[in-house]
Amino acid sequence: MSIGVDGQGLQKIYAENHDVGAISRAKNSDRLVLVTAARSPLKTEFTIVEPDGARTQHVVIPDGYSSGKEFDEATPPLISDDRTKIATLAASRTLPTELYSVEPTVKRLTTSQLPEFEKIKWAKYQEVTFPGPDHTTLHGVLIYREGLDLSKKHPAFLSNIYADSAKLAWGGWVENYAAQNLDMVVLCVDFRASWGYGGDFDSGYYRKMGLIDADEAVCAHNYLASLSFVRPDRIGIWGWSYGGYLTCMTLLTKPGVFDTGVAVAPVTDWKSYNEWYTRRRLGLAKDDPKIFEKTSPITYAAGLKDNLLLVHGILDDNVLFQDTARLIQRLIDNGKYFDEMTYPRDDHSISKETSRPHVFATILRYLNNHLNRKS
């Protein structure tokens, strides 16, 4: 919106049926640089709005993120003070983050990977949509090996479940490894609270955490099960932090839907978590203790029927290890059997030199051993 110096004449500058992930301008300039999701909620591009209203769109990576990717938004570009140059970090699912020029010309400026990187064989990454709960449409990325025998049925899993986890930015090697080396079908989904879908979807798990998005996980499962080349009884799910929480909520409140789950560093009781985060999503426990009980995996521990691996760093100072310990005890009290892996020297990121490869190998070994088991 624009407004006159007298406070009058409010006018729309940019109003389209897609989200704006970031906005910036050069020093002493009314030229606006927007990071938009006009082509797809999984991609970004730059939309330049001139003072006279003229627009120019720059796509740095056609099948990726033309901007940097933040936790729940996009990163604005770098703009020179004289307004003649714009640069950005950009990436895709098959290309780690590099530096690019946007103006005066779109051009890659850095090559950070070793020559061996070019030898990697990449799976097929396909944008998909499918029906979600409450009349929504869910967006995701389906990943499978080029040349996979589609006349046969293969195990599948939802990977790294979280808001914005389907965005076409660099996401590491786990999904590609599972597709290329294990012949598994992988689905990444933009769950509730992802940006790119409007405000109602972005804030759509208010007082519904672990409930509405567990319904979305079931919708994602049903989509995978509908594919002719996916084995419907061998579908798994895994996530980290909130994704670990959502994995627990999904397995415990929707028993029998997924075959196997891995929950890394899961919140199991929101009363134990940071109030600044929780109060904006659930309110305060003193005002409505029932919603905290309703959104806690501990409440539903008796529902476990599927294979579950719990993973946690004992030195975690974000989601405390006590959350996993409490769920473990409740599962034991209910006579439930599960698996556990702890990292004695690691915090929430489980990122020490020996721990990082170990934890991802542990996740994939567990999923592969159960979903690819002979029966």
Distance CA(343)–CA(348), nearest Å, equals: 10
Active site residues: 241, 316, 348
Whose tokens are 């209910």? That residue is 334
Distance CA(189)–CA(137), nearest Å, equals: 11
Distance CA(288)–CA(280), nearest Å, equals: 13
Distance CA(41)–CA(69), nearest Å, equals: 13
Q: Which of 156, 191, 209 is nearest to 41 (CA)?
A: 191
DSSP conformation class of 326: H
**Tokens read off for 12:** 């729309």
Q: Which of 166, 65, 171 is nearest to 122 (CA)?
A: 171
DSSP string, 239-250: EETHHHHHHHHH
